[in-house]
Structure 1
């Protein structure tokens, strides 16, 4: 029997404990497993790095939510990206990515994999001709898509890029962290792989680090699992359990995040201190119609460009009270960040550099009137 998203978020991979009947499966907080004789593994479990029931239940859940056959979890989003890229790429290969992707992704490819002989080009992903021109048939192995993008909230046509990537022989990878599978499922739109920082909306409570790779490609999944085991950037049992607990409320949380962000965005359009609001839920956003077709909601992330430049942006970031100044996003509490020197500091001086008058908001699930009042009090006029 097929089930809806919220039902799967609560039940996929979450069978009750057969020994005690506990509704919530236990945390298997163990480093190793007793064998029934040499090679006699119980349930296939041998050592905590190679497998753990708590981690396996999360991986089943992740695959179900994204509509994939395989879910592989890691100790962080970047660990997941690293394992995926090293599974695909070899020296001399080429990656094409968007010109405002997460700074950590760009740093990983250019500064770590770059020394291994990997080349990269950053292009405007909404310009399909530019993407086609950047792809090098035979050597472009990865087309990396981030939508909505971080922090400018660009919306990219996943289905169109899936066709472009397929035509050139590149695997299309979509970072679905900002939308979450509650709002967007890239595999259903033709992408080959989905990656997540599960730290963000999937965990949802700012209390756990994690990452994930989801795909329908059996061979690629086997290669990623090998690196998960051989390189060892696994997600620990307690972190897997916390992430699973967070996912159970993902659907209802994303509804509230989206509603609050929409209200905040609409309120500050035309504000005397605000030059521009970047939020795909606004009809004036260039990707609004595409987002309405491709997503089931517009999400909880938005950015604002301030008329007062860098000074005004810094003042706002350091003056709010409910919006706490911190890295990360996607938790139930609202956060504010200054991308130029926080999440995107690693891309200053590159084509991906973020303007110094940009402030990024992760809109939480508090009462929206309180959030708007907090921003109003801090915004320079």
Structure 2
């Protein structure tokens, strides 16, 4: 199973779509590392992802956990303190997810002046210091973003193994800025362009570009497998809150519906206590999408008028484009232009929701 360990709710940035961490108490870990170790020891193969806030604000706590608890390690970070992780700890990470929104001007506008340059400098440094795992660009996509232009920038800069993006949920809330419908149309057009580029790159390079929403969904389509909620929230993916309670989803820790237990429980007892409901489970592409987002599904009353339908239109468009591309991908595999195994990603959920 996979666990987000929220080391702190504090953050050193004040991003336009977030606001600098959570204000709800407690902000810092209240349980002991021995209690956490006892909880995780009841899972035969835990994947442990450090999360926040900004987890590297509590780097010493992170190191103590890594020293005490065996497991596969992942971190999701804004990247500004990656240069502070010592090589012996860098080498323990299976994956590092770095928040970056695309080109320099876009990232700095969303996240703060100079953030892009510091992130790019630090990811180069961690490679030099021995990190050889999966480096993932973790984009947030607020309204107005040119997704095609910014994904291409990150793909072509050569720094990242994989790229994932998530639509900024605040744009669908009541009181969000106007013009969302028009931007969704533009976003869907860009997704079509990206799928076309993705296939052309395979044909040209004999390599599958690591575009996570495409590889994850295409792998299911080629294998004919049906998916539950792809991020795994509430199924086999949980967040350990600073007070030791367990949330089904790291985004919804401040909502009562999401609390499924505590670290005094056994991990397996947490599974399937909170699941996606309607309208998702009756949808004709539920087997592909899995419900997209547990939090949004349970917080529908907070959405603007037709907000849920707009979100679903982006998922449906993505699925349609990839379904249309599947026969050509099969041909590329059969002709040995690409390897089918290259579409098997992630090997375990490493913090990418798959469906944007």
- Structure holding more helix per residue: 2
TM-score, length basis structure 1: 0.28
Highest Rg: 1 or 2?
1
